[in-house]
Structure 1
Amino acid sequence: MVLNIFFLTVTIKKRVMNPEEIMKRERIQKITEENKDRQFSMYRPF
């Protein structure tokens, strides 16, 4: 008889972001929002 037991441990750690990363994420979010607005304006029904 074989008994296989598998244990998995997941550790979640909050990430500390420096100001450069915060600015980069804000810039990416702004660009993404602008692209969504452009797509909406191009594809809205006439």
Structure 2
Amino acid sequence: MTINLLFFTISFNKRKITLEEAAREEYVAKVYQQMKEKQISIHRFM
């Protein structure tokens, strides 16, 4: 008789972002929103 046991330990740590990373993410979200609005406005005219 063989018993095989497998244990996993998973831990999550909150990642601290720098001010530069936060500014970059905000910029990317803003540009993404502008591109979506531009695509919607172009699509309406077709």
Q: With structure 1 as the length reference, what TM-score do the two structures score?
A: 0.74
Quote the sequence identity (%). Answer: 30
Matching of residue 5 in structure 1 with residue 2 in structure 2: no
Name structure 1 gaps, 5 residues minimum.
none
Tell me what 1:21 maps to. 21
Give the 4+ runs in structure 1 shifted more than 6 A: none
Name structure 2 gaps, 5 residues minimum.
none
Q: Higher helix fraction: Structure 1 or Structure 2?
A: 2
Across the two proteins, how many residue pairs are aligned to each other? 46
